[in-house]
Structure 1
Amino acid sequence: MMKMEGGRTKYGFVVRGESFDGGPINFGAYHPALRTLRLELADFGSTGTLGELYDVLPPGHRFSSRSGSDIDHRSQAARGVRVLRGRDILRNGTVVDTEDDDDAQLADVPLDRRLRAGDFVVRAITSNRPGDGLIIAEVTSEDLPAVAGSSVLVLRRKAQHPGPVHDFVLSYLRSPRCVELSLVDQLHGAIRLTVSSLSNMLVPHPDSEMITALAHLQQVKNKMQGWQNEASGLLNSVFDERSAKAARTRIIEQGRTLRQRAEEADSLTSLSGRIRKRFPLPVAYRWRAMEAELSGGPSRAGYEAILGFFEVLAAYLAQLAAAMAAHAGIQLQEIDDIASKVSAGRGGTTMGDWLAILESTKGKKFRALDDDAAIGEIRNAFGPRVAEARAWLKAARNDKAHERPVDDVQLPAAILTAKRHLDQIMEDLSFLPDLSLRFVSDFQWDDLAKSGRASYEELVGDHPVVPAVVGTVNTILEKGSLYIVDPLDRWHRIRPFLIRERCPECKTWSTFYLDRRIGAETMLKSLEHGHVISAGPHVIRGLEAVGYLPGY
């Protein structure tokens, strides 16, 4: 290894060309794999030191050299406060109850050195067991009065950081990854923490999208626990009433409500249930129509419905991507190509156009937008994980368009293959329900309050009739336009890439996109049912403004 310029082998690694700060040369500090993992912590959002989030305090009490001279082993009624030792901090995140601590130690300490409710106490010395992180417990009012002993360090949160950030960092500290990546002293299989090592410990800081995701998970957990507690309470109260008849009626009626609630939640565990209830209306509607065609068994109409759904899906995603590019000021050559083709009357928009737009979002122009909650998700659509499925469905759709049909003998197998590939793609689009599609039917802006009042329709699920919602927003919206609202509650206008109009043929409100030119008319096509309408002057001006048609 002495002859190596750098790199690693099974015996170790070599680091050259770096200046050392004169401190101890920690094996883990320079290990290439561990250094890479430390850098990747920033992928959660950013990284910083633990001292940026917490004041790290030394023990509030240290035993004197005279054994027990300042310690009282008597009951809590004795003068003094309890001294927390390392062993009093349990792996489950709690402190040993005072009544369970037969060997409690008491000491007289000033108020400013005592623990407070909300502090976190950390074992300063602990065994390095596989699968364990740092051992930390939150101090509650029931644990007080108390003071940290000589084998305990204290974390006191700084107020400027929101609670979810602290929760996230504490989860990291309790994980084995923290011990693996932290530059702390380890001796004879034990971890030894100091005020300095804990303050300087590198920890991940979650970004706003990660915080939102964690908050949603906590809401789900609380909701599920609430349902469980409600069912348990009902089961335990069967014989609480004097009247057996009244008890029977109550259990049946309240149990029915709980069962229906659970069945509704369970329906979302299936892919089909999630798509039909949580995906945007144009996608969910076409999925429902496709399933209806397939419900009667293998048929050519069912096979074509699968391929048609795939094209609609590509068209919908491409319009979102094009809108995000326009908002970011990114010019797409694919948009120019569509404008040239449509304006010259050489044909209409095709699935190839939509797939080309989606592919362009994976290029260099979009890399700077990776952190955006909307475009970051859309860029991953039809990615490497579903490349084979995408290619198969594209080829099948092209075969149909060029009149190369599947023969009747091969049709059942082709349907199974097509549906399997489509399911794989839809599983990969689990982010789509988080990009809410909304139609603003009315809007009023209060310039003094810098807030607006919007009436909008949440276009979700497979039914075209949806109720209006009224809410307050902090951005100016455009009445009569479609928007995508991302998980950070930011509104992105999708007009004119997608518009919402009442279809003159079927009389239902539908979502339209650019289809082709016929003579002097610009035609729009519905995502939901394929009906075609003529675009009005207002829509044409919008299409010209974004480059879909020449004119600007």
Structure 2
Amino acid sequence: MGGETVRLSSLSERLVAIGFERLAQGVPAVLSSSAFAGELAFGAPEGWQSVCEPSWEQLAARAGELLADGPLFLVPTWERRANPARRRATDPDSYYVEAMTSCRPPSPDAVMAVLLPAQAWTSDRPGLAEMRMKVAEHWDTLLVVYGFGTLTHLHASVESVVVFLRARAQTRPVLKVFRVPYRPDEAAVVKDFERLLAREGGRGEHGYVLREVPSPEQGLYFDRFDPHILRRREDLTGFGAVNALGDLFTFHRTAFSEAALRKGKQLTSPKDPGAVRIVRPRDIGRDGTIAPPSEETLWATIPADLQLAPGDLVIRRLHDPVTVSPHGFFTAEVTDEHLPAAASDNVVVLRPIKPLSRPQARLITMFLRTPLALSLAGPRPVTTVEALSALPVPQPDEALTKALDELTAAKQQFKRWEQEADSVIESVFLEKTAARARARVIDSGRALRLRVEAASLLDDLGHSVRTRFPYPIAYRWRETEARISSGDAQAAYAAILDTAEELLCYIAQLVLALTHARQITLGAVTAIRDKLAGGRSGPGFGDWANVLNEAATSRQLNNLPEAHPLNDIRTLLAHSDAEKARQALSERRNDQAHLRRVDPIDLPHAIDVAFADLTRLVERARFLADLPLLEVTDVRWDTFARSARVEYRELAGDHPVVPTRTMTPSNNDLETGSLYLRDTDGALHLLRPFLIGRDCPTCRTWSTFHADRVPQGAVVFKSLEHGHTWEDKSPGTRRLLSHVGLV
């Protein structure tokens, strides 16, 4: 390859030129070693002054001379030193390390960019960390640009870095970090790069700005300080606990390469007694499976203590850069069906220190297969066992564990149904006559078809609301759909607005009950109390919206337990689309109340728009399906068993007549006749006196009531379902409302 030169790719050359234009306001001289990589020399971009220094020992001195005349692009040799066995572990193994530590800025405005292998700036190795610290004594780092395929004649998997340095100043500049994507859209990359150079903070598509420059001891690989990655790392606690992978597993590596097995005469036939399958990297799939044995599978005689065990995780060792493998670690869990087996030398084995639950193992395996896990595991192309050991992994909390178990059970059920369907289909031509085959397919397939129809209904919002939402909302929704289908435009429009108000009212009552239980008083309660005391018209659409908006932004509610219902409720109006829908419906409600009614000609369009807004609100309130409304009908406490037998009705769906069920909670403070909200952990939250369930004195139907007015000597309650009222003159009711702050 003598006489050939290695050059910057066209995109890299353009980015370097832009960097010098913005940071040094000039075209740089290019200083390179006589041999850049092997026998290749570095070819400077056209039009740039090029200087080749034959002696690497003189590279730093020559750089100082050129810097005195203007900016410099330094391309030191990447060659390693000879006789590595004679060096100490802390000695630098590359010539560029000494060149970098010897370079000095000749003036306060000196600017130099250096082209290096990426590990020079990403590795935590002592020699390279020391190099960066010595560089930092004399230079500020302005810009770091990573990229694969930066140079011609070098393999596309070789990652390089261009580091822009300026003479050290008293005021430290911000640091800008950029990574050229694999197979980039060059125009888009250049545009994003120019935007990054103009930034003083924040993140673009391919780069970010660090206002607090990390210590040069730390390897500055792109993902390590990426704000997106750091936020996602912090967000892992949302799953439950977070542990280092090394706290949960021990790591094992073997020497079972094909060559070693042949040399040790351990290879054998799968038919031989004691034959053990060798799991190689190619056997571990991206989807978390281990491929079944094939003709290429290796079998060997392996001692029992070096074989895989059920519950082990196997991971392909990574040698490829993230651009080649953007899917996370290829990870699979070993089960009994894979055994007996052993891992090859390019497979890392993780063995649980203590037995893990199925949801734990499942969540860890799923996480390891994500790009986020790869980003948190340190610089590529090779991820070390040490980096894997320090990798933070999420642990599921009780609610997530339950959800994962339910999803696994659902997956297994779907699989059984699929097998059942396959069996029916395959039996078509197994019967003796076509008539019997036809009857079998129709009869056996009927249950399967009904299951599919029932499952498909769950994707229909209306069906979900009518069957799974709390009774007051499900009832209102059913009436709205009925009014719309009947063709009575005025009644349909009014029903939409009524349903929107009662939806907000119901959820606001939940907020009031739940915040009172935690001894938190919202400011919106003052306006509600004033309207209740007015005695004429009670709280309305705007008051309920104020409660929800305050709950969404209240700092007092920021540290609730994960499964607390308020965490879901607070998201309702936090979404801009839901808030816009709420505002539009509120304006329509006000117009309707103040006789600014929609013209009959415009009503069909108004109904379509209003119902779309209502649908948007209800979509955002799907969490209600997981927060059932219960009426406790009987409580029997067993003192010796320290448990209660509770009979209750789950008021889900659009009809109040539902079966009575039983449960056995460990507490004895439940009230017969009161309404409760059950959260995803199974805890019950008392809703009295904010919501009261009883038969309506007007229509004799069981209904849900909330306080609407508090005139002298009485409390007037209003039904969420149909607006009927009943008056309670007992002194205890008024005192109770006073106790919770509504009077």
Deviation string, structure 1 residues 524-544 (Cα, Å, up to 9, x no partner): 111111111112635444323
CA distance in 2, matches of 1:367, 1:23: 33
Which of the numbers 307, 330, 355 marks the counterpart of 2:545? 355
Deviation at 1:160, TM superposition (A): 5.7
Deviation string, structure 1 residues 385-432 (Cα, Å, up to 9, x no partner): 312111110011111112221122222221111111111111111111
Determine the structure 2 residue equivalent to 1:144. 339
Secondary structure at the counterpart of residue 466 of structure 1: coil
Determine the structure 2 residue equivalent to 1:522. 715
**RMSD in angstroms over aligned alpha carbons?**
2.7
Change beyond 3 A, Cα 1:33–1:168: same
Secondary structure at the counterpart of residue 514 of structure 1: strand
1:342 maps onto 2:532 in alignment: yes
Determine the structure 2 residue equivalent to 1:368. 559
> TM-score scaled to structure 1, two decimals?
0.89
Deviation at 1:298, TM superposition (A): 5.2
1:358 partner letter: L
CA distance in 2, matches of 1:112, 1:79: 13
Determine the structure 1 residue equivalent to 2:738. 544
Q: Do the aligned residues in 1 keep the contact of 2:310 with 2:334 (CA within 8 Å)? A: yes
Change beyond 3 A, Cα 1:365–1:79: closer
Secondary structure at the counterpart of residue 469 of structure 1: strand
Secondary structure at the counterpart of residue 601 of structure 2: coil
Determine the structure 1 residue equivalent to 2:389. 199
Which of the numbers 662, 680, 686 marks the counterpart of 1:487? 680
Secondary structure at the counterpart of residue 649 of structure 2: strand
Which of the numbers 624, 636, 646 marks the counterpart of 1:432? 624
Secondary structure at the counterpart of residue 409 of structure 1: helix
Q: Do the aligned residues in 2 keep the contact of 1:312 with 1:527 (CA within 8 Å)? A: yes
1:385 partner letter: D
1:207 partner letter: D
Q: Mapping of 1:212-361 within 5 angstroms?
A: 212-242=402-432, 247-297=437-487, 299-345=489-535, 347-361=537-551
CA distance in 1, matches of 2:245, 2:411: 27
Q: Do the aligned residues in 2 keep the contact of 1:280 with 1:432 (CA within 8 Å)? A: yes
1:159 partner letter: K
Q: Do the aligned residues in 2 keep the contact of 1:5 with 1:14 (CA within 8 Å)? A: no
1:309 partner letter: T
CA distance in 2, matches of 1:184, 1:364: 38
Q: Do the aligned residues in 2 keep the contact of 1:436 with 1:460 (CA within 8 Å)? A: yes
Greater gyration radius: 2
Q: Mapping of 1:27-42 within 5 angstroms?
A: 27-42=222-237
Deviation at 1:168, TM superposition (A): 1.0
Q: Do the aligned residues in 1 keep the contact of 2:630 with 2:649 (CA within 8 Å)? A: yes
Deviation at 1:280, TM superposition (A): 0.7
**Structure 2: which 5+ runs fail to align?**
1-141, 143-164, 167-171, 179-192, 194-206
Secondary structure at the counterpart of residue 452 of structure 1: strand
Percent identity over paired residues: 36
Deviation string, structure 1 residues 309-364 (Cα, Å, up to 9, x no partner): 11111110110000110111101232233233323535322222212211221222
CA distance in 2, matches of 1:367, 1:167: 29
Secondary structure at the counterpart of residue 664 of structure 2: strand
Change beyond 3 A, Cα 1:82–1:225: closer
Deviation at 1:474, TM superposition (A): 2.9
2:626 partner letter: D
Deviation at 1:260, TM superposition (A): 2.5
Change beyond 3 A, Cα 1:411–1:242: same
2:715 partner letter: T
2:739 partner letter: A
Change beyond 3 A, Cα 1:243–1:443: farther
Q: Do the aligned residues in 1 keep the contact of 2:399 with 2:680 (CA within 8 Å)? A: yes
Q: Do the aligned residues in 2 keep the contact of 1:64 with 1:70 (CA within 8 Å)? A: no
Q: Do the aligned residues in 2 keep the contact of 1:523 with 1:535 (CA within 8 Å)? A: yes
Aligned length: 540
1:174 partner letter: R
CA distance in 2, matches of 1:126, 1:96: 21
Change beyond 3 A, Cα 1:114–1:257: closer
2:742 partner letter: Y
CA distance in 1, matches of 2:234, 2:512: 33
Deviation at 1:250, TM superposition (A): 4.2
Deviation at 1:281, TM superposition (A): 0.4
Deviation string, structure 1 residues 49-85 (Cα, Å, up to 9, x no partner): 11222222232x4569978331333314166644433
CA distance in 2, matches of 1:143, 1:222: 20
Q: Do the aligned residues in 2 keep the contact of 1:440 with 1:479 (CA within 8 Å)? A: yes
CA distance in 2, matches of 1:93, 1:313: 43
Q: Report which stretch shifted further, 326-335 or 155-164.
A: 155-164
Which of the numbers 177, 194, 198 marks the counterpart of 2:372? 177
CA distance in 1, matches of 2:601, 2:368: 60
1:55 maps onto 2:223 in alignment: no
Determine the structure 2 residue equivalent to 1:505. 698
Which of the numbers 174, 179, 188 marks the counterpart of 1:6? 174
Determine the structure 1 residue equivalent to 2:263. 69
Deviation at 1:488, TM superposition (A): 1.4
CA distance in 1, matches of 2:517, 2:411: 36
Determine the structure 2 residue equivalent to 1:413. 605
CA distance in 2, matches of 1:505, 1:162: 54
Determine the structure 1 residue equivalent to 2:643. 451
Determine the structure 1 residue equivalent to 2:571. 380
CA distance in 2, matches of 1:335, 1:441: 30
CA distance in 2, matches of 1:206, 1:273: 31
Q: Do the aligned residues in 2 keep the contact of 1:46 with 1:206 (CA within 8 Å)? A: yes
Q: Do the aligned residues in 1 keep the contact of 2:174 with 2:210 (CA within 8 Å)? A: yes
Determine the structure 2 residue equivalent to 1:389. 581
Q: Do the aligned residues in 1 keep the contact of 2:635 with 2:671 (CA within 8 Å)? A: yes
Deviation at 1:436, TM superposition (A): 0.6
Deviation at 1:97, TM superposition (A): 3.7
CA distance in 1, matches of 2:718, 2:628: 21
Secondary structure at the counterpart of residue 705 of structure 2: strand
Change beyond 3 A, Cα 1:74–1:230: closer
Secondary structure at the counterpart of residue 38 of structure 1: helix
> TM-score scaled to structure 2, two decimals?
0.68
Which of the numbers 696, 701, 725 marks the counterpart of 1:532? 725
CA distance in 2, matches of 1:108, 1:215: 36
2:451 partner letter: R
Q: Do the aligned residues in 2 keep the contact of 1:209 with 1:373 (CA within 8 Å)? A: no
Q: Do the aligned residues in 2 keep the contact of 1:345 with 1:518 (CA within 8 Å)? A: yes
CA distance in 2, matches of 1:256, 1:80: 48
Determine the structure 2 residue equivalent to 1:164. 359
2:508 partner letter: A
Q: Report which stretch shifted further, 328-337 or 207-216.
A: 207-216
CA distance in 2, matches of 1:14, 1:376: 32
1:351 partner letter: F
Which of the numbers 457, 462, 469 marks the counterpart of 2:654? 462
Change beyond 3 A, Cα 1:412–1:155: same
Deviation at 1:118, TM superposition (A): 2.4
Structure showing greater relative contact order (alpha-carbon pairs closer than 8 Å, 6 or more residues apart):
1
CA distance in 1, matches of 2:695, 2:210: 69
Determine the structure 2 residue equivalent to 1:189. none
